[in-house]
Structure 1
Amino acid sequence: MNSTSSDAPDSPVPPEPTPVTDDNLAHRRKRRRNIALRIVIGLLGAIFAIWLILFITKGRFLKEPVESIASSLTERDVAVEGDFQLYFAPFRIKFLAEGLTVSNPKWATRPHLFTAKRIDTRIAPLALLFGNWRLYWLDLTEGAVDLEWNAKRTANTWTFDSKGDAKPLELPTIDRATLRDTSIRYRDPVLQLLADLDFATVVSSDAKIGEAVRFTGDGRLRETPFTLQGALLTPNATVQRGQNKLELQARAANNIIDISGTLPSLADIEGVPLATRARGGNAAELLGIIGVVIPRTRTYRLNATLVKQDRMYRFNALKGTFGASDIAGQFAVDMSGARVHVDATLATKTLDIIDVSPFIGYNPDVIAARGVQAAAAATGAAPARLLPNASLRAEGLRAFDADVRYTATRLRSDSIPISDISVVVDLDDGLLKLSPLRLTMARGKLASDIAIDWRRRPAVTRYDIRLAATPMAQLLDGFGVAEAGTNGTVKGRIQLTGTGDALHESLASSSGRIAFVIPRGTFSTRNVQLSELDFGTFVQKMFENKLKEPVQINCGLIAFTVRGGSAAADPILIDTRKNVIAGRGGFSFATEQMDLAFRADGKKFSLVSAQSPVGIGGYFSQPRLNVISPELLGRAGAGLGLAVLAAPPAALLAFVDVGDAKSAACGPVLQGATAAGQRTTKGKARDDVGNGKKATSGQKGEKKFLGIF
């Protein structure tokens, strides 16, 4: 039977919600405030208790925990030998430690990063929470700091980072300080720099530490010892993180370097322009300190603005002198790579020729005092020689790279007028290129490409020197040759390859070709007639007082083939309106001897003509002109015999030139062809210009040093 019991219990009824009233909300907020207040009071009480305990005990009981925590965080051994205090006094953190030591990493050369007989300081706690160190007061006695980089410059001793990431050095803000017997040591194996600085006792109060903080020191940079001294001239600003004026003077390798500037802080020189002045007797000694090899210079003085960015050192607004020459521009030294790299743009208004001499191996001081020959002898060259035997250090030229752009407006010289010099220097791992090297010489343009491979032992040098058409009058004017009556030009090319670390060695072993072409033009009679040795014409013009009358040159070629340092005429051939001049012989770069002979054959009948070779012998430094050759003496003897047998007028027959010289075809001459390619105007091969294989003059009675003609 389905029925519902009347006595079944009723379902539970939920209580009605308490209505939200203003009184209820106020009660809840009050309860929360009370809880927060109890928490704050509890924290303040705990802090006060801690402060009180620390203040009463001076925190000495924290010595071992602090040593342990500091050692764990820094991964260094931190220890305090004597008294230790760490507490709030009253709101600043007081830290005192006697015999404090902080160890260095194992790779460092010194056991400790920091040691102090006694350090007593007050630290700003709020600044510390934001990662900044501000010391209201510091008293340091016999403090020593060791700052080092590792061998690869990837880590340093002052960066506490297990990953090994090196960070720049940052010093804390110090309001007042007392420093006694403080020293700093800095070591950088990559830069090969070691410096030790000792600071004079510094006492400050109320953020004032007197007029200057002075320091002295010494060290070594790339095996070169140096000393330095300096001062912080406005240390009162420095201790408050203001600007500080620095003055420093360093002495190294007979050079004096002065640096001054304004630093934002003691250790912050990154990007700060510093006025730099350097002076000394030889700039090569200065640059040699950082491993950059250049030829020696005379006394120099340089001013520049130095800006350091990491391992890049830029010298801007460079200006100064070396020897009797001026220099300006800018250059940068990058020490971040495996080799030092120099990048420079330099310019000179007036370049003294003596200051150029070191770049080919001469000592400029010797040249200035005693001349080129004495300077060559000073390099080990034999007597009477001019080419220097001095060599640059090949190993030094592989220690750095360089990109240099240099210009000079004028070369100060007593002979050849040279101006508008420009050269691009590229040095890459011992391969030195001077390309292009350009200059203006007597209104002619000279361009060259020179490459010296110092990676090969001995060095291999390739010369390619090109002379554009140059007026001979201006070219020879410096040698006392009259300009009037001469409008001829000369152009040429020198291509040689040699081995050796010195200029003399390189040329003495060289092979290649030298050729100078003379296109159509006129030349002063005074200059030409002695070469042609046409006595009849010369005497006739001398009595007619027409020495300035020009002689027409159709074409000319003075060329040599060089083998093993010996140059053989190949050919010497000059065609003029009246004569054909041919030359034989040659010279040696090894001995610097010359053995040349020039012979002029007339194209027309001449009653009085010697027709004998003019010999040029001797050395580059002491050339000898042999006008009265053995052949001429023989002909004079024959004339004397004829005069005895017949009559005095018959003696003239020995000097008669029948005028059978064959005119030269100017095409091969102007093309610089070898002797085998020379032709007469009728197209026949010439038989009076040799074959370019024997470098002798053919003069009798003289020792031939290049072969037998």
Structure 2
Amino acid sequence: MSPPGATRGQPAARSRRRAARVAAVAAGLLLALLLCEALGWPFLRGPVERAAARATASVVSIEAPFRVRFVFSPQLQAGRIVVAAAHGMALPHLVDAHALRADWRWGDIRRWRDGAPLRLEALRARTLDARLQRLADGRASWQLGQRRAPPAGEAALPRFGLLTLDEGHIEIDDHALALRATVDLSGSEGEGGRGIEARARGQYRGHDLDLRAHATAALPLLDESEQAPALPVRLEGKVGQVVLAFDGRAAALLTGRRLDGTLRMQGPSLAAVGAPLGLALPATPAFELVGRLAHDAGVWHLVAESATVGSSRLTGDFRYDGTREPGRLDGRLGGERLALADLGPAVGAPGTAAAPPPPGAPPPRVLPQREFDLPQLRGMDAEVQVAIAELDFGTEALAPVRQLRARVRLDDAVLRLEALSGVVGGGRVDGWSALDARQTPARWSVDLNFDRVAIDQWIRALRRGGAGDDPRRALLTGVLEGRLVLAGRGRSTAQILGSADGDGRLLLRRGTVSHLLTEAAGIDLAQALGVLVRGDEALPLRCARLEFGVEDGLVVPRVAVIDNRDSTVFVDGRASLADETLALRAQVRPKDFSVLSLRTPVLIGGHFSRPQVGLQASRLVGRAAAAIALGVLAAPLAALLPFVDPGSGDGPDPCTAAPRSAAAAAASAPRR
């Protein structure tokens, strides 16, 4: 029989032995764990490969040398890792990395399994080749672990806290963005990193793309998520025909999510900028722009501090909302000078001077023939306020319009120029214009008013000796008032004007007209010689009035008269905007006596580009025949009688006469 104390000590001993065995096992397990951690769990390559395949719902291949750590700072190292593209896409792989090391946090892995974008603490690789593809239905090659494709645009690329690449290659084929590009990367990011150098080449919306970038990090340049950090980036290169340089902060560079920085652009035309972005910008001469560009949540904001378009000097502040359907452009356009020639390509005129036609060739067309890009007007809506200090017509013959103001609106493919006004010749011009591209062919209409415009100050060619000459020596002066209303259809300026209907009214009062010009127009040789001897003078202008109708491109004067104390000049005929021909006749009725006046109508014919001026031969031949007959039958001095003009004297104001109907005016027009 054992002593009582020994009985009581046996359970305690067994407990100690069990505790010792448990401690030994735990120590062994801990030792084994530490040993495996130290060795990198080489025998887990197969299980990790299979677990990664289950987690990504894709085929994963891991090649030796293989090391993985699960404690403290989880990481994986492999000689090579290949991850197949999601959704069974026909790509060689999603990622193929050599000499790779990936660091992660378990919390990020849990959030990824719950649907958040995959995030790794660091990724280092000697070489990395990635194939990123998104189909039109929204499925993307990087949607790892997602067996159901998210809505288009919601798939987010993996994110990295640190990326180091000796050599990276990414191929992008994004059907949603119409982007196909190859991106080559190298460098390191994070603290102490030299940054990432990237070059993207390919096509964006059918336009060639060649961009070079330097950034402190690379993946934010490709990340599509709204949480992607905006990092310092320098970008330069070419998109389509536009050369650009950007220095600022950016995220999702290739997809245009967020940008903010200084911008310099140049290209052959503003239309070259709008084409890749889907904007309906006008065709212009070469341009250069310096300013600031920002983009966030689908909204672009451009501040053009200095913009040179041809010889124009402009500024602007524009906001384009691409989230709307169609997109919408709002802003203002200002500047010190806008040259009309720089808008020529927008209305179909050639951007450069045309070469002279060869001898014997048909007369060149004057009205622009090039067709408008009307489908582009359906691509967006717009409202832009215009305030230009000077609109230059590109010729010394015309003074510029100053203080040009207008509101440009584009709604539902209807382009309107509203609240148009400007100062010219001390007076004003105002009105509106519209181009309706909803109709086929497009319909254009215009309504312009002229108020108190000094014609010699506007039309400098009327001043002999240049614009600075004394107005009293101008060929024609006066205050112009009137209105022009036209409407036409077509796909070019020539087609629209060639089909135009409408009318116009111009009235010139309180002016003067050159005496010599008046006598020359009336073919009054005696009085013209007298004016040459004593010097020209400005005759007070009683009035000048032009009213005309336009029907199917044919311009026919209803009233066309210039009246002064010496003579009254009547003009009739026609001008065709369709075939650009002239058939006009000017008839002068002297009011005073003249001993040597041919008093023969002057005919103006030919083509707009080659006008021809001559005399009505039948009248001249008749007077010459009468002069010869009188000289032979009567006396030599009698031969002058057919050329003597007693003058008609003053009569009622011809400018107050009722205009003729269009039919009557057309019937009296001279035939070509």
The residue that corresponds to 1:164 in the other structure is 150
Preserved CA contact (<8 Å) 2:188 2:195? no
When residues 110 and 543 of structure 1 are mapped into structure 2, their CA distance, relative to the original with a 3 A threshold, is same
- The one of 651, 665, 668 aligned to 1:692: 665
- For residues 649 and 660 of structure 2, what CA distance do their matches in structure 1 show? 17
Per-residue CA distance 1:560-615 (angstroms, 9 max, x = gap): 22222222221213343343332221111122221111112244555544332122
- The one of 404, 423, 441 aligned to 1:440: 423
Structure 2 matches for 1:487-566, cutoff 5 A?
Answer: 487-545=477-535, 547-553=536-542, 555-566=543-554
- For residues 428 and 532 of structure 2, what CA distance do their matches in structure 1 show? 36
For the residue of structure 1 that corresponds to 2:374, the secondary structure is coil
- For residues 599 and 129 of structure 2, what CA distance do their matches in structure 1 show? 91
Q: Could you tell which deviates more after superposition, 534-543 or 409-418?
A: 534-543
- For residues 540 and 46 of structure 1, what CA distance do their matches in structure 2 show? 131
Q: Could you tell which deviates more after superposition, 241-250 or 620-629?
A: 241-250
Preserved CA contact (<8 Å) 1:96 1:120? yes
Preserved CA contact (<8 Å) 2:82 2:94? no
The residue that corresponds to 1:624 in the other structure is 612
Deviation at 1:361, TM superposition (A): 2.0
- For residues 560 and 541 of structure 2, what CA distance do their matches in structure 1 show? 18
For the residue of structure 2 that corresponds to 1:208, the secondary structure is coil
- For residues 145 and 446 of structure 2, what CA distance do their matches in structure 1 show? 56
When residues 419 and 54 of structure 1 are mapped into structure 2, their CA distance, relative to the original with a 3 A threshold, is farther
- The one of 33, 48, 57 aligned to 1:63: 48
Q: Could you tell which deviates more after superposition, 54-63 or 648-657?
A: 54-63
Structure 2 matches for 1:618-697, cutoff 5 A?
Answer: 618-627=606-615, 629-660=617-648, 663-665=651-653, 668=656, 674-676=659-661, 691-694=664-667, 696-697=669-670
Preserved CA contact (<8 Å) 2:548 2:555? yes
The answer to whether 1:586 aligns with 2:564 is no
The answer to whether 1:597 aligns with 2:573 is no
Q: Aligned AA for 2:445?
A: R
- For residues 243 and 389 of structure 1, what CA distance do their matches in structure 2 show? 48
Preserved CA contact (<8 Å) 2:574 2:666? no
Per-residue CA distance 1:306-363 (angstroms, 9 max, x = gap): 2111222222244231222222213334333444443342223123443233233222
Q: Could you tell which deviates more after superposition, 79-88 or 399-408?
A: 79-88
Deviation at 1:181, TM superposition (A): 3.6
The answer to whether 1:174 aligns with 2:154 is no
When residues 470 and 45 of structure 1 are mapped into structure 2, their CA distance, relative to the original with a 3 A threshold, is farther
The residue that corresponds to 1:405 in the other structure is 385
- For residues 402 and 331 of structure 1, what CA distance do their matches in structure 2 show? 10
Preserved CA contact (<8 Å) 2:119 2:158? no
The residue that corresponds to 1:91 in the other structure is 72
The answer to whether 1:121 aligns with 2:102 is yes
From the CA coordinates, give the structure whose radius of gyration is larger: 1
The residue that corresponds to 2:83 in the other structure is 101
Per-residue CA distance 1:159-181 (angstroms, 9 max, x = gap): 97758355584764535x54244
The residue that corresponds to 1:19 in the other structure is none
The answer to whether 1:350 aligns with 2:337 is yes
Per-residue CA distance 1:223-277 (angstroms, 9 max, x = gap): 1122222223689x99xx9985422222243432222224589999855422222
Preserved CA contact (<8 Å) 1:568 1:695? no
Structure 2 matches for 1:313-352, cutoff 5 A?
Answer: 313-352=300-339
Q: Could you tell which deviates more after superposition, 271-280 or 78-87?
A: 78-87
The residue that corresponds to 1:255 in the other structure is 242
- For residues 262 and 289 of structure 1, what CA distance do their matches in structure 2 show? 22
Deviation at 1:383, TM superposition (A): 2.0
Deviation at 1:197, TM superposition (A): 0.5
- For residues 53 and 213 of structure 2, what CA distance do their matches in structure 1 show? 39
The residue that corresponds to 1:456 in the other structure is 439
For the residue of structure 2 that corresponds to 1:289, the secondary structure is helix
Deviation at 1:484, TM superposition (A): 0.8
The residue that corresponds to 2:275 in the other structure is 288
- For residues 151 and 405 of structure 1, what CA distance do their matches in structure 2 show? 38
When residues 422 and 336 of structure 1 are mapped into structure 2, their CA distance, relative to the original with a 3 A threshold, is same
- For residues 435 and 269 of structure 1, what CA distance do their matches in structure 2 show? 33
Preserved CA contact (<8 Å) 1:159 1:167? no
- The one of 181, 185, 188 aligned to 1:195: 181
For the residue of structure 2 that corresponds to 1:692, the secondary structure is helix
The residue that corresponds to 1:416 in the other structure is 398
Matched pairs, number = 620
Q: Aligned AA for 1:222?
A: R
Q: Could you tell which deviates more after superposition, 47-56 or 637-646?
A: 47-56
Deviation at 1:91, TM superposition (A): 1.2
Deviation at 1:506, TM superposition (A): 1.6
For the residue of structure 2 that corresponds to 1:457, the secondary structure is coil
Q: Could you tell which deviates more after superposition, 411-420 or 450-459?
A: 450-459
Q: Aligned AA for 1:548?
A: E
Q: Aligned AA for 1:538?
A: A
Preserved CA contact (<8 Å) 2:87 2:139? no
- For residues 103 and 466 of structure 1, what CA distance do their matches in structure 2 show? 66
The answer to whether 1:79 aligns with 2:64 is no
Preserved CA contact (<8 Å) 1:314 1:331? yes
Preserved CA contact (<8 Å) 1:357 1:363? yes
- For residues 123 and 142 of structure 2, what CA distance do their matches in structure 1 show? 22
The answer to whether 1:361 aligns with 2:341 is no
- For residues 173 and 515 of structure 2, what CA distance do their matches in structure 1 show? 73
Q: Which runs of 5+ in 2 are unaligned?
A: 1-22, 222-227
Per-residue CA distance 1:393-414 (angstroms, 9 max, x = gap): 3333333443333343221531
Per-residue CA distance 1:487-518 (angstroms, 9 max, x = gap): 42222322222222121222122222233222
Structure 2 matches for 1:267-278, cutoff 5 A?
Answer: 271-278=258-265
- The one of 459, 467, 470 aligned to 1:476: 459
For the residue of structure 1 that corresponds to 2:55, the secondary structure is helix
When residues 630 and 169 of structure 1 are mapped into structure 2, their CA distance, relative to the original with a 3 A threshold, is same
When residues 191 and 342 of structure 1 are mapped into structure 2, their CA distance, relative to the original with a 3 A threshold, is farther
Deviation at 1:292, TM superposition (A): 3.6
- For residues 451 and 153 of structure 1, what CA distance do their matches in structure 2 show? 40
Q: Give the structure-2-normalised TM-score.
A: 0.79
The residue that corresponds to 1:310 in the other structure is 297
For the residue of structure 2 that corresponds to 1:354, the secondary structure is helix
When residues 664 and 513 of structure 1 are mapped into structure 2, their CA distance, relative to the original with a 3 A threshold, is farther
When residues 550 and 494 of structure 1 are mapped into structure 2, their CA distance, relative to the original with a 3 A threshold, is same
Preserved CA contact (<8 Å) 1:416 1:441? no
Deviation at 1:220, TM superposition (A): 0.8
When residues 676 and 660 of structure 1 are mapped into structure 2, their CA distance, relative to the original with a 3 A threshold, is farther
Q: Could you tell which deviates more after superposition, 145-154 or 588-597?
A: 145-154
Q: Which runs of 5+ in 1 are unaligned?
A: 1-40, 678-689, 698-703
Percent sequence identity over aligned pairs? 22
Per-residue CA distance 1:192-229 (angstroms, 9 max, x = gap): 222221113x468x9433x3422222111121122222
When residues 591 and 178 of structure 1 are mapped into structure 2, their CA distance, relative to the original with a 3 A threshold, is closer
When residues 305 and 652 of structure 1 are mapped into structure 2, their CA distance, relative to the original with a 3 A threshold, is same
Preserved CA contact (<8 Å) 2:559 2:659? yes
The residue that corresponds to 2:409 in the other structure is 426
For the residue of structure 2 that corresponds to 1:649, the secondary structure is helix
- For residues 106 and 137 of structure 2, what CA distance do their matches in structure 1 show? 37
The answer to whether 1:615 aligns with 2:603 is yes
- For residues 340 and 267 of structure 1, what CA distance do their matches in structure 2 show? 20
- For residues 568 and 307 of structure 1, what CA distance do their matches in structure 2 show? 54
- For residues 227 and 86 of structure 1, what CA distance do their matches in structure 2 show? 39
Preserved CA contact (<8 Å) 1:297 1:364? yes
- For residues 504 and 565 of structure 2, what CA distance do their matches in structure 1 show? 26
When residues 111 and 587 of structure 1 are mapped into structure 2, their CA distance, relative to the original with a 3 A threshold, is same
When residues 243 and 519 of structure 1 are mapped into structure 2, their CA distance, relative to the original with a 3 A threshold, is closer
Deviation at 1:284, TM superposition (A): 3.0
